[in-house]
């Protein structure tokens, strides 16, 4: 199969006949509050001398980041146990590692916004009866009196059975950068916690326990003129078919689909996604460092459930859809590009648009345009549908299992949604 230079996917760098985007409960106990331990001495953090962090200090960095993120998760849980106030974490800063006062105020605001989100989710028929958050420290970089700590959050939320047949849990993994600053007294203070997956240029989607980043809920100006990019004899000069945005009205008239249709096995598609949502299939390349892995992941799931390759020029996204592991190691633009996948899927008539997101069934695809600029940003596959009609999606960037469509709509009410029946 002819190849082409790789293009990005997910939020950001994919080349297309559209806009070229700039890329854009766990309870806290006193034990968690007591994360502070002795760290750099006052001499080590004295002016003109770079601060240092011992292995024990690095472990304390991780525990404090975990405590803050667990606080966010707990704000979403209905039956919450008593939680240690963030002020307690701030007070412990004098002992070694603690939360800066300004960051504590910021997290209190986040906590209030998440409690509002919890009420909104319950009104939409969703609640969580338990949650857990764990953090691992992946990397520490110290420069002068600043430590940038890369951590991975793994959170699981247990659904409360409001509708009766929700899946047992939803879960996700997310990367954050925790910023610590050394004080003249030789202590470390957490001054910032940034979600790297959803920062400007990041590939991912804010999770249910994350505040919505600025810009995700702000409508953009009308889409710019669609630019045509041609680099092969098969590329068409006409604009590709455009997806129709779906309604988010609940409830929606049912659009049932069978477990299988022809060569398509929708149960197998969902099973693949549930298997590889957090542990990536080594048979495929991943694109988290090149715009996002979301569309690559849904393409893998569709292939596992019966979609056959369509050979041709990699850039001919109206007609081709394929992946090559070797000779050369590349893929069609429609394999891992958000918009390119939509154009191929509609051109090939392998999909049709559904009028409402709540009509999605197992094996169907949901895409989102967060800022409504005419360029789709994210792809997800439906892995479960409750008897009451709620679809649950699984995706990469960030790695997420069985997140309800109601949760997405609640967090992003102003986004454009595109629902595809496979």
Strands (E), 45-187: 97-99, 128-143, 146-159, 169-182
Q: Which band of pLDDT confidence, cut at 50, 70 and 90, is reported for residue 43? A: very low
Is the pLDDT higher at 64 or at 8? 64
Spatial separation of the C-alpha atoms in residues 210 and 217, rounded to whole Å: 14
Spatial separation of the C-alpha atoms in residues 60 and 343, rounded to whole Å: 49
Average pLDDT in the 134-155 region?
Answer: 96
Q: Which pLDDT belongs to residue 196?
A: 87
Q: Which pLDDT belongs to residue 234?
A: 38
152 and 138 Cβ atoms separated by less than 8 Å: yes
CA dihedral 42, 47, 53, 56 (to 10 degrees): 20
Q: Which pLDDT belongs to residue 52?
A: 74
Spatial separation of the C-alpha atoms in residues 27 and 214, rounded to whole Å: 28
Query: What is the average pLDDT value for the chain, to the nearest integer?
Result: 81
Average pLDDT in the 68-82 region?
Answer: 84
- Sketch out the chain's domains with CATH numbers: 30-195 (3.10.450), 260-421 (3.90.1720.10)
Neighbours of 42 (CB within 10 A): 12
Q: Which pLDDT belongs to residue 86?
A: 62
Phi-psi category of residue 354: left, alpha or beta, with phi > 0 → left and psi -120 to 50 → alpha: beta
Planar angle of CA 5, 10, 16, nearest 5 degrees: 50
Question: How many angstroms from the chain centroid is the CA of residue 227?
Answer: 28
Helices first, then strands: H and E counts in the chain: 9, 15
Task: Give SS3 for 152.
Answer: strand
| Residue recorded with tokens 């600053």 | 181
The whole model's pTM is what? 0.81
Bridge partners for 366 per DSSP = 380, 419
């Amino acid at each position: 199969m002819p190849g082409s230079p790789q293009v990005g996917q997910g939020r950001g760098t994919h080349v297309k006949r559209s806009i070229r985007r700039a890329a854009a409960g766990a309870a806290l106990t006193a034990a968690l509050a007591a994360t502070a331990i002795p760290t750099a001495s006052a001499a080590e953090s004295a002016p003109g001398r770079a601060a240092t962090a011992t292995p024990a200090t690095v472990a304390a960095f991780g525990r404090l980041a975990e405590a803050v993120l667990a606080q966010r998760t707990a704000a979403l849980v209905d039956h919450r146990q008593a939680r240690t106030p963030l002020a307690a974490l701030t007070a412990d800063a004098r002992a070694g590692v603690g939360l800066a006062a300004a960051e504590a105020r910021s997290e209190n605001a986040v906590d209030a916004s998440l409690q509002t989100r919890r009420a909104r989710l319950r009104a939409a028929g969703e609640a969580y009866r338990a949650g857990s958050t764990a953090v691992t420290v992946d990397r520490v970089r110290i420069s002068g009196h600043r430590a940038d700590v890369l951590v991975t959050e793994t959170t699981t939320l247990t659904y409360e059975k409001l509708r009766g047949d929700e899946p047992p849990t939803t879960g996700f993994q997310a990367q954050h950068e925790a910023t610590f600053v050394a004080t003249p007294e030789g202590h470390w203070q957490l001054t910032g916690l940034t979600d790297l997956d959803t920062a400007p240029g990041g590939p991912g989607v804010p999770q249910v326990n994350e505040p919505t980043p600025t810009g995700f809920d702000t409508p953009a100006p009308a889409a710019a003129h669609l630019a045509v990019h041609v680099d092969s004899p098969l590329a068409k000069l006409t604009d590709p078919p455009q997806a129709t945005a779906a309604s988010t009205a609940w409830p929606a008239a049912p659009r049932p689909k069978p477990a299988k249709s022809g060569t398509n096995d929708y149960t197998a598609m969902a099973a693949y996604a549930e298997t590889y949502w957090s542990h990536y299939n080594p048979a495929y390349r991943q694109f988290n460092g090149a715009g996002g892995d979301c569309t690559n992941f849904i393409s893998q799931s569709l292939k596992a459930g019966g979609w056959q390759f369509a050979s041709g020029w990699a850039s001919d996204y109206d007609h081709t859809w394929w992946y090559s592991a070797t000779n050369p190691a590349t893929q069609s633009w429609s394999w891992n590009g958000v918009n390119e996948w939509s154009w191929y899927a509609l051109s090939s008539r392998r999909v049709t648009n559904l009028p409402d997101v709540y009509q999605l069934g197992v094996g169907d695809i949901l895409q989102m345009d967060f800022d409504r600029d005419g360029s789709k940003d994210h792809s997800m596959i439906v892995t479960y549908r409750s008897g009451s009609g709620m679809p649950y999606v699984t995706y990469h960037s960030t790695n997420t299992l069985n997140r309800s469509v109601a949760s997405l709509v609640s967090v992003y009410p102003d986004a454009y949604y595109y629902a595809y029946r496979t």
